[in-house]
Amino acid sequence: MLKLNQADRDRLVILHQVQQGQLTMGEGARRAGLGERHFRRVVRRFEAEGDGVVVHGLRGQHSNNALPQGLRERALEKARDPLYHDFGPTLLSEHLARDGIAEVAPSTLRRWMIAADLWEPARQGKRHRRRRERRAAFGELVLMDTSIHPWLEQRCGQEIVLIALIDDATSRLRARFFPRDTGAANRQMIVAYLCEHGRMGSLYTDQASHFKVNWRAKERAENDEPEALTLIRRALDALEIELILALSPQAKGRVERLFKTLQDRLVKELRVAKVTSMEDANRFLDEKFLPFWDARFTVAPRETADALRPLPEGVDLLRLFAETDERVIREDFTFRYANRHFQIEKGEAEPRMPRSRITIEHRLDGSTQYRWRETYLKPTPLLSERNRTPLPETVGKPTPESPPGRVHKPAPDHPWRRYAQKPRGVMSAGPPLRSGPALITP
Residue type, 187: R
What mean pLDDT comes out for the span 76-102? Answer: 84
Alpha helices in 81-121 (DSSP H): 89-98, 106-115
Residue 90: what pLDDT? 86
3-state secondary structure (DSSP) of residue 248 = coil
What is the rounded CA–CA span in Å between residue 39 and residue 55? 14
What is the rounded CA–CA span in Å between residue 115 and residue 134? 32
| Judgement on whether residues 45 and 91 belong to the same structural domain of the protein | no
| Judgement on whether residues 289 and 147 belong to the same structural domain of the protein | yes
Which CB contacts under 8 angstroms, 24+ apart, belong to 190-193? 190/144, 190/165, 190/232, 190/235, 190/236, 190/321, 191/317, 191/318, 191/321, 191/364, 193/142, 193/165
- The CA–CA distances, whole Å, from 410 to 23, 162, 415, 433 equal 86, 55, 9, 22
Is pLDDT of 424 > 60?
no
pLDDT exceeding 70 applies to what percent of the chain? 86
What is the rounded CA–CA span in Å between residue 313 and residue 9? 12
| Judgement on whether residues 223 and 291 belong to the same structural domain of the protein | yes
Is pLDDT of 49 > 50?
yes
Summary count for the chain: helices (H), strands (E): 15, 12
Is pLDDT of 322 > 50?
yes
What mean pLDDT comes out for the span 40-59? Answer: 81
8 A C-beta contact, residue 12 and residue 54: yes
Q: Which residue has the higher pLDDT, 77 or 126?
A: 77
Query: What mean pLDDT, rounded, does the chain reach?
Result: 84
Q: How confident is the model at residue 279 (pLDDT cuts 50, 70, 90)?
A: very high
Q: What is the CATH number of the domain that holds 153?
A: 3.30.420.10
What mean pLDDT comes out for the span 267-288? Answer: 93
In the chain, the number of structural domains is 4
Q: How confident is the model at residue 45 (pLDDT cuts 50, 70, 90)?
A: confident
Q: Is residue 407 included in any domain, yes or no? A: no
Which of 101-110, 181-190, 361-370 has the weakest average pLDDT? 101-110
Q: Is residue 424 included in any domain, yes or no? A: no
What mean pLDDT comes out for the span 342-363? Answer: 94
| Cα–Cα–Cα angle for 39, 40, 43, rounded to 5 degrees | 90
Q: Is residue 243 included in any domain, yes or no? A: yes
Is pLDDT of 112 > 70?
yes
Q: Is residue 16 included in any domain, yes or no? A: yes
| Judgement on whether residues 210 and 331 belong to the same structural domain of the protein | no
Is pLDDT of 76 > 80?
yes
| Judgement on whether residues 89 and 160 belong to the same structural domain of the protein | no
Kindly calculate the radius of gyration of the chain based on its CA atoms and give it in whole angstroms. Answer: 31
Q: How confident is the model at residue 385 (pLDDT cuts 50, 70, 90)?
A: low
Residue 126: what pLDDT? 66
Query: Pseudo-torsion of CA 133, 139, 141, 147, nearest 10°?
Result: 110
Is pLDDT of 95 > 90?
no
Q: How confident is the model at residue 124 (pLDDT cuts 50, 70, 90)?
A: low
| Judgement on whether residues 80 and 153 belong to the same structural domain of the protein | no
Q: Is residue 198 included in any domain, yes or no? A: yes
Question: What is 351-379 written as a DSSP string?
Answer: TT-TTSEEEEEE-TTS-EEEEETTEEE-P
Evaluated on CA atoms 277, 278, 284, 289, the torsion sign reads positive
Q: Which residue has the higher pLDDT, 436 or 406?
A: 406
Residue type, 26: G
Residue 293: what pLDDT? 94
Which of 147-156, 188-197, 352-361 has the weakest average pLDDT? 147-156
pTM over 0.75: no
What mean pLDDT comes out for the span 45-58? Answer: 79
Residue type, 42: V
Q: How confident is the model at residue 430 (pLDDT cuts 50, 70, 90)?
A: very low
8 A C-beta contact, residue 239 and residue 312: yes
| Judgement on whether residues 331 and 254 belong to the same structural domain of the protein | no
| Judgement on whether residues 289 and 157 belong to the same structural domain of the protein | yes
| Judgement on whether residues 152 and 291 belong to the same structural domain of the protein | yes
Residue 1: what pLDDT? 65
What is the rounded CA–CA span in Å between residue 270 and residue 295? 19
What's the domain range around 379?
Answer: 322-385
Is pLDDT of 285 > 90?
yes
- The last residue of one of the domains, among 385, 414, 434, is 385
| Judgement on whether residues 235 and 89 belong to the same structural domain of the protein | no
What is the rounded CA–CA span in Å between residue 10 and residue 3? 14
| Judgement on whether residues 146 and 280 belong to the same structural domain of the protein | yes
Q: Is residue 40 included in any domain, yes or no? A: yes
| Judgement on whether residues 171 and 205 belong to the same structural domain of the protein | yes
Q: Is residue 365 included in any domain, yes or no? A: yes
Is pLDDT of 382 > 70?
yes
What b/e readout covers 144-165, taking b as 16+ CB neighbours within 10 angstroms?
bbbbebebbeeebeeebbbbbb
Residue 441: what pLDDT? 39
Q: Which residue has the higher pLDDT, 397 or 406?
A: 406
Q: Is residue 108 included in any domain, yes or no? A: yes
Cβ-based neighbours of 441, under 8 Å, separated by 6 or more: 419, 420, 422, 424, 425, 426, 428
What mean pLDDT comes out for the span 36-61? Answer: 82
Q: How confident is the model at residue 403 (pLDDT cuts 50, 70, 90)?
A: low
